[in-house]
Amino acid sequence: MSDAKPEGGPEAQHEDQGSLTFFSVVMSTLAAAIGVQSKANKERDFKHGSAGPFIVAGLVFTALFVGTLVLIVRFVLSAAGA
């Protein structure tokens, strides 16, 4: 039996390309934000990705998160006052 990873999977394609897709940057950002980022994915991000896309994704995520919280608080306060 062989210990080699199966060929043709998405992870094998990422390693061959040397860059990360938009989806993988978004998923890594979300996983890191909630604290469930795997060590393998973190190493992949540092090896194949640059800091720029992750900084932008983090800022966008933060803005959406804060905006969502503001909308929820406004909704709850308006419902409580009615």
Q: Evaluate whether residue 1 is within a structural domain.
A: no
Distance of CA 41 to the CA centre of its chain: 10
Q: Evaluate whether residue 19 is within a structural domain.
A: yes
Indicate the number of domains in the chain: 1
* Helix (H) / strand (E) containing 32: helix 22-34
Spatial contact of 45 and 35, defined as CB atoms under 8 Å apart: no
More confident residue, 9 or 71: 71
Q: Evaluate whether residue 5 is within a structural domain.
A: no
Residues near 15 by beta carbon (within 8 Å), at least 6 away in sequence: 44, 48
Range of the domain at 59: 10-81
Q: What angle do CA 32, 35, 37 make, to 5 degrees?
A: 55
Q: Evaluate whether residue 2 is within a structural domain.
A: no
Global pTM reads 0.67
Q: Evaluate whether residue 75 is within a structural domain.
A: yes
pLDDT higher than 70, residue 7: no
